[in-house]
Amino acid sequence: MAQFSFRVDPSSAEPLFAQIVSGVKHAVATGRLAPGDRLPSVRELARELVINPNTIAKAYEALEAEGITLSRHGAGTFIAERRAVLSGDEQRRRIREALTALLTDAVHLGLRESDVRREFDAALHRFRFDTGGDDTGKRKG
C-alpha cells in the first residue's frame, strides 16, 4: 500500500467524502499515488480518520465512477491507469469552467495578470500530465 496521508477537515463546508475524493485526485495528479497503488480499506480509513465507513465508501464509489480507482473484490481499491472517461469536448468544457472560476477569483482578489501567470506556471510544474505523445507537455527539470 502506498504511503499517503489522508486528511479531512470536519469544520470545512466541503463534505467529508468530497475532501477524500479531492485528496486522492490531487495525490494522483502530483504523483504521490501511482497506478497500482492500493488505498486503505474502507474500514481502515474510517478508523484512521474517525469518520463513518459509509462516507469512505461513498468517496471510493465516486473515485471509481470517475475512473480514478478500480476495485478488485477481495483485494481492495487501487489507483487505476489514466484513461479518458470523458470526451475531449467535455474535458475542455470542464477545464474552461474551472479556469473561469479561478480567474474570476483572481480578478476579485486584485491580482495582476503577471502574478496569475507566475502562479499558474509554478502549479503546472507540480503536476504530472499524460502528454499522449505530444512533446509540448514535456518538462525539463
d(CA 122, CA 8): 25
Contacts of 13 (CB under 8 A, 6+ apart): none
pTM beyond 0.85: the answer is no
d(CA 28, CA 62): 15
For 60-95, write each residue's pLDDT tens digit.
999 999 899 999 988 999 999 877 677 889 889 989
Phi, psi of 128 (to 5 degrees): -110, 115
How far is CA 117 from its chain centroid? 22
Domain boundaries, the chain: 16-79, 88-130
Q: In the CATH scheme, what architecture does the domain 16-79 have? A: Orthogonal Bundle (1.10)
